[in-house]
Structure 1
Amino acid sequence: MFHRFIRIWEFVGHSLWFTPLLYAIGGAVLSLLAIRLPGEDIIASLPDFWPRFETVETVQDLTSTLLATLVTMTTFALSVTMVVLTLAAGSLGPRTIRNFMGDPKTQNALGSFVGTILFLITGLVLMGGQTDDGAVPQIAAMTGIALFVVSLFVLILFVHHLGRSIVADHVIQKVGANLEETISSSLETLSGPIDNAATESCTLPDAGANTSDRTITAAKSGYVQGIDYDDLLEVAIKHNIRVALTVRAGQHVIAGDIIGEIGKDENNGTKPSDTGPSDTEPTDTRPDAIHDAIAQQIMIGSQRTAMLDIEFALRQLVEVALRALSPGINDPFTAIAVIHRLGRALPQAMDFHYPMGLWRDDQGQERICAHLSDFGGMMNAAFNQIRQSASAKPDVLLPMAEVLESLTGLAKHPKHLEILREHARLIGRAAARDIADATDRKAVERAVNRVLRQQQAKDDYSVS
C-alpha cells in the first residue's frame, strides 16, 4: 500500500493543477468568511489614514479592477512558465520537465495567483446579492487588496526563481538531490531483503523455459512502476505460496510476458492457510484469484516513476549530460558537472550489493524472491552512455576516471572493485580507440591506471 501511495503522490506532486486547486478552495472559503465578518468596529479602530469604503458599489468596482489585473498577471506567469519548460526540454531533456512541474515554489506561486482570483470572484458573486443599504464588506475589500499586493511580490520572486531554475548547475544539483533521496528511501525497505538474498540461495526461474500455469504474467503492457513487496508478502502468506519475480521497477513488459513464478511452500504445499485442497494437490491447479492478487501488487503504467525506480532517477541526470555532449550544444562543462554529481550519489548505491531480494514471513519461511537493481546496473546506467558519447573527449573521460578512483576507495564489497575496474578498462579502451592526440590519450590512460593500481592494491591487501 505504501508503494502505491508513493506512485499516486508522485503523479499528484508533479502536476501543476493540484496545489493551485487547494489554493483556489482556500481562496473561496476565505472570501466567504471575510464577507460575513463584521468590519465596522475593526475599521473604526484603525487610524484615520486607513482607507474606508462608503458603498458596496465602490468595493465591487475595486474588486473588479484587481481581478482583471490579477488575471493578466497570472497569464503572464503561465506564459513565462511555458517558455521555461520549452527551453528546459530542448537543452536539458524532456524528462527534466517533471522536476520543474514538481517544484514547490512554482506550484505555490501559481497557487497564490489562482487562490487570490477565486477570492475576488467569490467576493464579487456574494456582493452581487447585497442591497445598497447593506453593510459594506470592509474586511473583504482590505483582504483583497492585501492578497493582490502579496501576489505582486510573488510574481517578482516567481520570475526570479524561474530564471535560476533553468541554469544547468541548479538542475543538476536538484535532480541529484532527488536521486540521493530515492536511493536512501529504497534502502530503508530493501536493505534487509538484499542481505537475506546474499546469504541464502535465492534462485529465479527461467522466464523463457516455464510455460505452466504456475507462471505469473504481465497484466498489461508498460513500465513496471513499482512493486509493493509488503502487500505481496501478505498475499504469499495468505495463500501459502512462494513467489519468484524476474522483473524489477523500471523494466518494460508486454501484456502476457512471463514475469515470475508461483512455487509451493516446502512444508504445506500451495493451499491457503485455513481452507483449500489437500497437501498433495499439485500447484498447477491454484485459483485465478491468486494471480489477480499478485497482479495488483505489480504496478504497471505508461511511464517510469523516479521515486520507486533508481535507474530512472539516474538516467535523468545522464540525459542532461548527453544533451550537453550533443553536437548542437557541445557543453562539456555541464557533462562534467553531471559526472561529479553522479559520483556523490553512487556511494549510497553500494549498499545494493546483490541483484536480488528475499522476503520471509514471521516463521522464517521464504516467501518472495525478486530481482532488484544492484550497484553494477546503476553504474551501467550512470556511465555507459556518457562514456560512449564522450569517447573522443578527454576532458570528459578524465573526470569519469577520477570519480571511479574515488569510488574505489569507498568500495564495500569485492564485487564492487571488479565493476569499477571494468568501467575503468572501458574508458581506457575508448580513449585508445577514439582520442587522436597522443598526449590526451596518455593522460586518460594514466588516470585509468591509477584506478586499476588502487584496486589491485586493495586486492593484495585483502589477500594478505
Structure 2
Amino acid sequence: MKAQFLKIFVKIRSSLWFTPGVMSSVAVALAFLTITMNDPMADFFESLGWTFSGGAEGASAVLKTIAGSMITIAGVVFSITLVALSLVTSQLGPRLLRNFMRDTTTQVVLGTFVATFLYCLIVLRTVRRSDSSGDTEFVPHLSVTLGVFFAVLSVGVLIYFIHHVSVSIQANRVVARVGNELLTTIDHLYPKKPAKDTPQKEERPSADFLDMFSRKSRPVPATTDGYIQFIDKEVLMEWAVKEDAVIRLEQQPGRYIVAGQPLVRIWPEDKITDQLPKRINRAFALDDERTPSQDVEFAVLELVEIALRALSPSLNDPFTAIACIDQLGTALCRLAQRNIPSPYLFDEGKQLRIIAPTRGFSEITDAAFNQIRHNVRSSVQIFIHLLDTIATVAYFAHRPEDQATLLRHAEMLVRGAREGLPEELDRWVVEERYQAVVRLCNEPRPGLEQDIDRQPNANETSLVS
C-alpha cells in the first residue's frame, strides 16, 4: 500500500541510523574491493606516485591512528548533535526534533566518521608481517592510501559540520526551514491556478443525493489508534470503481483516531463485507505523531508553536515571533493564489466515487492566527505586525470568502487592541493598520466579478468609528 510505504519512508528519512548504516555498508564493501584489487592495480597507482609506500608496521600504525581518531570524533559529533537537539527542544519546541533529525548534513557527517572507522578496521585485519613461519608480508597499499584520503576528507567534514550546527540552530534559520517545509506542503496539496486564472466550475452532486448518502451509508471503523499521516485515495478510488460504490472520508490527515471511530462511510451499505474494514484501514497510515506530508495544518502549527514560545514571559523574544508571522504570511499569500481542491472526486466516467473534505483558506488562516492573537493582548508590536501581514495577504486574496476571513481576523485584532493596549496612540496606530486591511479587502480585483461600490459592513464601520 502506498500509504504504508510513505509511512515507512518518513520514519527512515527522520532516523539517524539509516544514512550512516548505508554509508558503513558501502565502506565495508569498498574495503574488500580495494583489498582484492590491490595486486592488479598496484603497478598503475605506484607509477602515479599516489599509493602508500610504507611497510606492514607503518600501514598498521596509520590505520590504527585513523580508526581510533574517527571513532573518537564520531562520539564528539554525537555529543554536538544531542546538545543541539536539547537546545532546540527547550527553546523552540519538541516537535522540531523531527526537522533536525531529518537534516541530511548531520546524517552524512555521522556516516562519514563511522564508515571511515569501519573501512580502516577491515583493512587493518588484512595487514600481515613476514615471520619465521614462512608467512609473507602483505600490505594493501591501495586500501591504506584510500584510508588516508578518507581521513583527510573527514577533517574537512568535521570543520563543515561545526559551521553547519552553529548556523542551523539560529532561530531565524529554524523558522525559515519550517516555513519552507510549509510552502512545500502547500505546493503539493494545492494545485496552481490555470494560466488564464479563470474560475473553474466545480462539479457537485445533487443535494438530494448527499442527503440520501448521509441517511443510508454505513461507517467503516478504524482498527487501531493514532494520528492519520497518509490517506491513499488511489486505493479507495480503485475499490469504489470496482464495487460501484461511493466513499466519504470522515477524518482528515492530522486527526487522532481511536479504534472503533469511523474512518469512512460507504454507500450502498451492501458493499460492506467482513474483509472490507481491513482493506480500508490499509489505505490509512496511522502513527503516534503528525507529519506535514498531507497535513498542512501541522506545518502551520509548528510555526505557531515557535511564536508562542517566543512570546512567553520566560523567553520574551518578539523578533522570533515576528519571523514566524512573516513565514505564515508568505504561506497564506501562496495559498490565496491557489485553487482549493474540490471535495468531490469522480472517476473517468464522471461518476462520484469519493467525498474527501479538504482544509480551506479559512481553516488554515484560523490555525495561523488564533493562538498568536490570544497571546498578544499587551504587545503593540505584534498587533501591528499581524495586521500588516493580513494586509499583505489581502493583496493576494481574490476570493470573497478569503477576504471575509481576513477581515474577521483583523476585526478581532482591533477589538483585542482596544481592550489590551493602555496607550491611546498605540490604539490609533492599530486602527490605522486595520483601515488599510479594510481598503485592500474592499478594492476590486481585476478579473473578479464583485461589486466595485462595495461599502464596509456594519461591523467594519463600528470598529473604526
Compute the TM-score of the two structures, normalised by the length of structure 2: 0.87
CA separation in 1, counterparts of 2:397 and 2:313?
Answer: 35
CA separation in 1, counterparts of 2:122 and 2:294?
Answer: 41
Q: 1:340 to 1:328 in 2, by over 3 A?
A: same
Letter of the 2:46 counterpart? A
- The equivalent of 1:308 in structure 2 is 294
Deviations 1:97-148 (A, max 9, x none): 1111111111111111111112112212344799851432101111111101
- The answer as to whether partners of 1:205 and 1:244 remain within 8 angstroms in 2 is no
- The equivalent of 1:365 in structure 2 is 351
Aligned counterpart for 1:226 among listed residues 191, 212, 230: 230
Aligned counterpart for 2:165 among listed residues 156, 162, 166: 162
Map 1:161-240 → 2, pairs under 5 A: 161-188=164-191, 198-201=202-205, 214-240=218-244
Aligned counterpart for 1:45 among listed residues 44, 47, 50: 47
Task: Tell me whether 1:428 sits opposite 2:431 in the alignment.
Answer: no
Map 1:53-64 → 2, pairs under 5 A: 53-55=54-56, 57-64=57-64
Task: Tell me whether 1:391 sits opposite 2:377 in the alignment.
Answer: yes
Q: 1:285 to 1:164 in 2, by over 3 A?
A: closer
Q: SS at the partner of 1:368?
A: strand
Q: SS at the partner of 1:288?
A: coil
Letter of the 2:349 counterpart? Q
CA separation in 1, counterparts of 2:73 and 2:206?
Answer: 60
CA separation in 2, counterparts of 1:63 and 1:320?
Answer: 46
Aligned counterpart for 1:442 among listed residues 407, 413, 428: 428
Shift of 1:292: 2.2
- The equivalent of 2:437 in structure 1 is 451
Task: Tell me whether 1:463 sits opposite 2:447 in the alignment.
Answer: no
Shift of 1:46: 3.8
Q: 1:447 to 1:114 in 2, by over 3 A?
A: same
Deviations 1:212-269 (A, max 9, x none): 88212222221111211111100111222100112111111211112331013xxxxx
- The equivalent of 2:145 in structure 1 is 142
Q: SS at the partner of 2:125?
A: helix
CA separation in 2, counterparts of 1:197 and 1:124?
Answer: 71
Aligned counterpart for 2:257 among listed residues 248, 253, 259: 253
Deviations 1:250-304 (A, max 9, x none): 111211112331013xxxxxxxxxxxxxxxxxx3473122222222112221111
Shift of 1:202: 7.5
CA separation in 1, counterparts of 2:42 and 2:443?
Answer: 83
Q: SS at the partner of 2:264?
A: strand
CA separation in 1, counterparts of 2:290 and 2:120?
Answer: 40
Q: 1:454 to 1:461 in 2, by over 3 A?
A: farther
Fraction of identical pairs, as percent: 32
- The equivalent of 1:324 in structure 2 is 310
Q: 1:187 to 1:457 in 2, by over 3 A?
A: closer
Task: Tell me whether 1:83 sits opposite 2:83 in the alignment.
Answer: yes
- The equivalent of 2:463 in structure 1 is none
- The answer as to whether partners of 2:109 and 2:158 remain within 8 angstroms in 1 is yes
Shift of 1:447: 0.7
Unaligned runs of 5+ in 1: 265-282
Deviations 1:417-445 (A, max 9, x none): 11111111111111111112221122112
- The equivalent of 2:272 in structure 1 is 286
CA separation in 2, counterparts of 1:310 and 1:130?
Answer: 66
- The equivalent of 1:112 in structure 2 is 112
- The equivalent of 1:271 in structure 2 is none
Map 1:14-25 → 2, pairs under 5 A: 14-25=14-25
Task: Tell me whether 1:66 sits opposite 2:66 in the alignment.
Answer: yes
Letter of the 2:387 counterpart? A
CA separation in 1, counterparts of 2:420 and 2:286?
Answer: 41
- The answer as to whether partners of 1:218 and 1:295 remain within 8 angstroms in 2 is yes
- The answer as to whether partners of 2:192 and 2:337 remain within 8 angstroms in 1 is no
CA separation in 2, counterparts of 1:4 and 1:186?
Answer: 19
Deviations 1:11-45 (A, max 9, x none): 11111111101100111011111112225413531
Q: 1:412 to 1:288 in 2, by over 3 A?
A: farther
- The answer as to whether partners of 1:198 and 1:354 remain within 8 angstroms in 2 is no
Q: 1:128 to 1:177 in 2, by over 3 A?
A: farther
CA separation in 1, counterparts of 2:110 and 2:193?
Answer: 37
RMSD: 2.7
Map 1:374-413 → 2, pairs under 5 A: 374-413=360-399
* Aligned residue pairs, count: 438
Q: SS at the partner of 2:72?
A: helix
Task: Tell me whether 1:152 sits opposite 2:162 in the alignment.
Answer: no
Q: 1:129 to 1:414 in 2, by over 3 A?
A: farther
Letter of the 1:115 counterpart? A
CA separation in 1, counterparts of 2:200 and 2:60?
Answer: 69
Q: SS at the partner of 1:371?
A: coil
Shift of 1:448: 1.4
Shift of 1:327: 0.7
Shift of 1:166: 0.4
CA separation in 2, counterparts of 1:130 and 1:102?
Answer: 49
Compute the TM-score of the two structures, normalised by the length of structure 1: 0.88
- The equivalent of 2:455 in structure 1 is none
- The answer as to whether partners of 2:343 and 2:357 remain within 8 angstroms in 1 is yes
